[in-house]
Structure 1
Amino acid sequence: MEMIAHGIDLVDCPRIEQMVQRHGERFLDRVFTASEQAYAEASRNTVEKLAGRFAAKEAILKLMGTGWRGKIAWTDIEIVNNAAGQPEVTLAGQVKEIAERLGIKHISVSITHTANFAIASAVALTRMQQH
């Protein structure tokens, strides 16, 4: 039996801006893939784009019920836009293994932001856990 899994996250954009200013490339490379960084840097709203991707990654882990633990790397989740401008999720490493165990084949995300906040929602079909 399948069920809908959902995760949502809200990020304070100035907090992401502070992290970038304080830690620079170290923070960016730890949290965002090269494609995600290029996408954000090509925009005049770089911080908001990064915050949106950050929120989406958090939302995805919430729908899986895992949080950031074990060998999960931020870059195990990549969110890039398709030709139509819709964000698409690619999983790797530990996150991909968890998704496979849960029977998740596809995750859809929606991201929006203002100058101050970014919010993301993630949904997926997953196998119902038997207790």
Structure 2
Amino acid sequence: MNIGIDIEEIKRFQKLLKDKNFIELVFSRDEIEYCSSKKKNAVQHFAVRFAGKEAVWKAINKSKKLVITDISFKNSVLGKPEVYIKGKKASYIDISFSHNKTTVVAVAVSSK
């Protein structure tokens, strides 16, 4: 079992998200649509998914050569985030997101 964790300040993402190139380089089309649909809290959603990508990378990159764009998230029908690696569901990785007004955190646990 491997664990990865990442924490980010939301304020940092308010600046980064003004750069459309950054968004398109880091997030999948589905992630951009999902986060952008959360009008009031879009920054939180982008920031926590970025933290999630970092957490997953830390948990599994010892055995795989991944870049941040290889990792994405989609919500299940119950709303739970699920990890996708290079477009394929990675059911061996669990992810948990949390955020408040200033900070986001993500934890990833890989059973491989």
Alignment of 1:14 onto 2:11: yes
Superposed displacement of residue 74, structure 1 = 2.2
SS in 2 for 1:36: helix
TM-score by length of 1: 0.75
* Structure 1 unmatched ranges of 5 or more: 97-103, 127-131
SS at match of 2:111: strand
Letter in 1 for 2:73: I
Given residue 18 of structure 1, which amino acid in structure 2 is its aligned partner? K
- Name the counterpart of 1:51: 47
Change (3 A) 1:86 1:105: closer
Contact 1:52 1:119 in 2 (8 A): yes
Contact 2:5 2:55 in 1 (8 A): yes
**Residue 79 of structure 2 aligns with which residue?**
85
* In 2: Cα distance, 1:45 partner to 1:5 partner: 30
When Rg is computed on C-alpha atoms for both structures, the one with the higher figure is: 1
> Cα RMSD between the aligned structures?
1.9
Q: Secondary structure at the match of 1:111?
A: strand
TM-score computed with the length of structure 2 as normaliser: 0.87
Q: Verify the 8 A CA contact 1:16 1:47 in the aligned structure 2.
A: yes
- 1:67-106: per-residue Cα shift (whole Å, max 9, x none)? xxx7x4322101111110000011018xx8xxxxxxx861
- 1:65 CA displacement: 4.5
Structure 2 unpaired stretches of 5+: none
